[in-house]
Structure 1
């Protein structure tokens, strides 16, 4: 009887610490209006207003495996209009290409530099965990806050970041590379872009192969910025 209890405890601990099945999560995107944004540029203002409508046609997939996570835009739902309009909508959602979170690193695709070029970032760690809660899709979620510092010339902005994570889903991932929280992020707001969960599959057949790492070029954020500057001819 004693041996049976020990074996059960070992199995229970192993199951709790390990991840037996892959998980797939589908998110939708909502872009909120921001007073004064692009008021000095009629072309960008029109693109922005269109993006507030077009974003509702997009779906994003998060795949979670034992190796990490992959986040990408599903191409089943296409936006009406030209490619530039869709690219603008995705950029308003802070999405430029596929994003992998592997071993504490966030790898973001930079397709403007090349399909196999990725920028490397570290997981966000300056979260402020609060006791505020709300139900999302019948999951009890907790609120975590942070901010993103953006520097452009002599101007500095601190854009708010709000994440609602679920401890009952103990996976430290979320949309567009955000994570490092004690639970899966079911809702994420970065500035005026909001990603919200649409469905969760805890026994998914989706997967990704980490061998892609052998075929890509990984640059630091400084190298990415230098490459963009050189490309633009500045």
Structure 2
């Protein structure tokens, strides 16, 4: 009985896919998919010694908002541009502190990302701490494992696919406070922990990707750098991030131009990751110094 139902589902999906392909091939189309992205942040033992719980909570709330974004993917059969949806900034709270977190937020937000699935080209226009970069790479190759599990996202029937990648990107969602130097010197055990933490940050991490795609929109596009499935990817779950499509508009009346990014210093993704890691470490040390012995002479 179950096998019969599954067979009928496969046949129905196949027919739907065939009709969709014919429909998309008949004309030059464009689509827009709206995504909500949320990344969990490790705030374990966050904050400098002596910081009140109220201060920690206020900072944690601001850090959390840095990693909750909405994006628009504009796509055709071969090209796409993925960028954050423009919003009016809310008035910052806490004076200079609010401005500091606004700067951090803009620095960690990816710029417009261009994908060409025919030429396998990936370009990202990225501003980082006042410097303009053009990250240029080939599209990542995912060894997708196609599953039979399905679920409904809006009005679209979606299929599950999984892949595993090795990543050496800096994990800037980890804001755990490191032990002070005095603590490290007093406790040998703490020194061992610090060395272990540094080792973990410098190693390649294995990340599992779970994607849900619909063959009702037969393009191998998706949010961010994700692509390569026989239908538009509507949901992605990775290490700490969930990206979910909330709305799709096919052939909008007002078409958008998909522009290839050209501005900025050209760097590879690997080189850019090194730059981000170095700057983030500097920023982390500066925050620690403001409240510790290293920042005793500074005015906060």
TM range (shorter): 0.7 to 0.9
Q: Please report the RMSD computed on the Cα atoms of aligned residues, expressed in angstroms.
A: 3.6
Instruction: Give, in whole Å, the separation in 2 of the partners of 1:85 and 1:233.
Output: 16
SS of match in other structure, 2:224: helix
The answer to whether residue 148 in structure 2 is matched with residue 140 in structure 1 is: no
Aligned to 2:234: 186
What corresponds to 1:97 in structure 2?
Answer: 111
> Contact conserved, 1:30 with 1:195, CA < 8 A, in 2?
yes
Which one has the largest radius of gyration? Answer: 2
State how 1:214-233 maps to structure 2 within 5 Å. Answer: 215=263, 217-225=265-273
1:194-209 superposed matches below 5 A: 194-204=242-252, 205-209=254-258
- Identify which of 62, 74, 84 aligns with 2:85: 74
Residues 224 and 134 from structure 1, CA distance in 2 versus in 1: closer, same or farther, beyond 3 angstroms? same
What is the aligned partner in structure 2 of residue 112 from structure 1?
Answer: 128
Q: Is 1:173–1:181's contact at 8 Å kept on the other side of the alignment?
A: yes
Does 2:38 align with 1:30?
A: yes
TM-score w.r.t. length of structure 2 = 0.59
Q: Secondary structure, in 3 states, of the residue corresponding to 1:224? A: helix
Q: Normalising by structure 1, report the TM-score.
A: 0.73
Q: Per the alignment, do residues 55 and 147 of structure 1 end up closer, same or farther by CA in structure 2, a change over 3 Å counting?
A: same
Structure 1 residue 160 and structure 2 residue 208: aligned?
A: yes
CA contact (8 A) 1:31 1:51 kept: no
Normalized per residue, the structure richer in strand is: 1
Shift, 1:209, TM fit: 4.3
Correspondence for 2:147: 130
What CA deviation, in whole Å up to 9, does each residue of 1:107-135 have, x standing for no partner? 12331274352232423322221111100
Q: Greater helix percent: which structure?
A: 2
1:63 aligns with 2:74: yes
- 1:142: Cα distance to partner? 0.8
Runs (5+) with no aligned partner, structure 1: 1-11
Paired with 1:233 and 1:196, the residues of 2 have a C-alpha distance of: 30
Query: Contact (CA 8 Å) 1:119, 1:218: kept in 2 or not?
Result: yes
Q: 1:220 to 1:54 in 2, by over 3 A?
A: closer
Gaps of 5+ in 2: 1-19, 49-55, 93-97, 171-197, 283-300
Contact 1:51 1:88 in 2 (8 A): no
Q: Do structure 1's residue 150 and structure 2's residue 178 form an aligned pair?
A: no
